Amino acid sequence: MGRLIVKTSETFNALLMNLKVGDAVAKVASRKHEIAKALNKDFRAMDGCVDHTLMVGSFGRHTAIKGVSDLDMIFILPPGIRADYGSETGPRRMLERVRDDLTARYPNSDVRVDQCVVRVQFKSNAFKFEVQPAFKNGDGGFDYPDTAARGWKVTKPRAEIEATKECNDRTSRNMRHLARMTRAWKNANGVNMGGLLVDTLVHRFFSQTAAYDSAGVGSFDLMVRDFFEFLKDEPDKDFYLALGSNQRVKVKARFQPKAERAYKWCLEAIANEGKASANRKWREVFGAAVPLKASDPVRSFDNTEEFIEQQYSVDIQYNLAIDCTVTQKGWRPASLREILQAKSLLLPNKELEFAVMECTVPYPFDLRWKVLNRGDEAERRNKVRGQIVPSNRVNGRYERTEFRGDHVVECYVIKSGIVVARDRIDVPISTNSQVP
């Protein structure tokens, strides 16, 4: 029986299919119409009217992926009331009026004002609508309320939508394909990067190369390789100018180190093209949306690995960093990351205390962990593990090194039913000595 050949085009076609928003489109449309009806009834005395709205953000630019949780929506206000909200108290009064309308419509949901929007967190699903009331301007932009500035600011989401469409048309739809794959990468690897920054960086990539303007799916391995090379080489910046609108888009955290790691994974996947091992490496880059192909003989171990994406929506919005204190009787405790930086490996019989070192997620939230054993030794012992489990220490997890393999520990922060931050650390163990 010959070796299974895994085609690059099949891998990326399956990835893109698994990233489609799918059934969520109808649910989002239904919620949007409900919100529009409630606001139009108050602001225009119109029953059942679903007009005067604009979906913006990644959903409006058609770059969202499955599991999208934050939906951005502009409600276009009637121009005749603009003067009534022109004072310093106007922005807050406007947002509170919208909040009261939506609280009446959704009495069992969490509805609150948050500086520039009214947030509606639905309990029946993971959707969170951010509704921004705004006055339309003559140039196609909008004035929106800002309670911190006590005034009205300008946003131009239609220019961002148009720039996305223009680039997508010019690149044979590859702009949106790459934007969706970039979102999969950021969610799989805990990269705290907003959607507008993702689309802006993808747009900048295509503006500096025409190599993939007509590329087919069979060349997407090279396209993502070059994109991550572009990302890792970007200079540190506090902000970028958004595609189309040129508004400032804040850089929440450095993305270059994780882009460099993804670039190396791309090189390894490309070097193993056609093999099942290539898909395993693409899964490191893009997460569980990449299908695995079984080419090896069936082994007698239980594949107990679980995937956080199958239990929760994932939308990385905050920073998380974990480390591990390695101890053994008679030895000084050491940081696992420092050990890895020194390119050293662990030996068995060491105690591991995994802990959260940095977390920008506001309380309350839940922590979950995943301890995955890899390699022949883990399979032979039937100890692959990989289940999603709670902490067994305060904000941490205690483990012991046992046997050889390039093991992985991941941590997830879950807030309102959504994974909003994640981090991972490799645990390479160098010998297969038994634990006493």
Residue with tokens 């409006």: 60
In whole angstroms, what is the distance from residue 417 CA to residue 409 CA? 21
| Distance, C-alpha 358 to centroid of its chain | 18
| Cβ 167 vs Cβ 243: under 8 Å | yes
Cα 375 off chain centre by: 28
What is the CATH number that goes with domain 20-159? Answer: 3.30.460.90
- CATH architecture for residues 300-429: Sandwich (2.60)
| Structural tokens at position 36 | 């529009």
Distance, in Å, from the CA atom of 312 to the CA atom of 418, rounded to the nearest integer, reads: 6
Instruction: Say which residues have a Cβ less than 8 Å from residue 81's Cβ, sequence separation at least 6.
Output: 43
Q: Which residues of 252-275 are buried (b: 16+ CB within 10 A; e: fewer)?
A: beebeebbeebbbbbeebbebeeb
* Distance between CA atoms of residues 121 and 119, nearest Å: 6
Q: Compute φ and ψ for 48, nearest 5 degrees.
A: 75, 10
Query: What is the per-residue pLDDT across 205-220, written as a single tens digit (0 to 9) for each?
Result: 999 999 999 999 999 9
Smallest Cα–Cα separation from 55: which of 71, 40, 43? Answer: 71
Dihedral sign of CA atoms 124, 125, 128, 129 in order: negative
Task: Report whether 16 contacts 181 (CB < 8 A).
Answer: yes
Q: Residue 406's pLDDT is what?
A: 73
* Residues 118, 115: Cα–Cα separation, whole Å: 8
Domain parsing of the chain, residue ranges: 20-159, 300-429
Looking at the chain, the number of H-run helices and the number of E-run strands are 12, 18
Contact 398, 434 (CB under 8 A): no
CA separation for the pair 38, 406 (Å, rounded): 54
As a whole number of Å, the CA-based R_g of the chain is 24
User: How deeply is 134 buried, as exposed, middle or buried, from its count of CB atoms within 10 A (0-12, 13-18, 19+)?
Assistant: buried
Pairing of strands 385-389, 418-429: unpaired
State which residues of the chain have pLDDT below 50: 1-2, 296-298, 432-436
Rounded-to-integer distance, Cα 424 and Cα 260, Å: 15
First to last CA, the chain: 42
Rounded to an integer, what distance in angstroms lies between the CA atom of residue 4 and that of residue 101?
58
Strands 405-415 and 418-429: antiparallel
Q: For residues 214-240, b (16+ Cβ closer than 10 Å) or e, as one string?
A: ebebebbbebbbbbbbbbbebeeeeeb
Find, among 153, 154, 149, the residue nearest to 89 by Cα. 149
The DSSP code sequence of 333-379 is: -EEHHHHHHTT--B-SS-EEEEEEEEE-PPSS-EEEEEEE--SHHHH
User: How far is it, in rounded angstroms, from Cα 130 to Cα 145?
Assistant: 13
- 22-27-31 Cα angle (round to 5): 150
Q: What is the pLDDT of residue 67?
A: 82
* Cross-strand pairs, 344: none
pLDDT for position 296: 47
What pTM was estimated for this model as a whole? 0.90
The pLDDT value recorded for residue 126 is 64
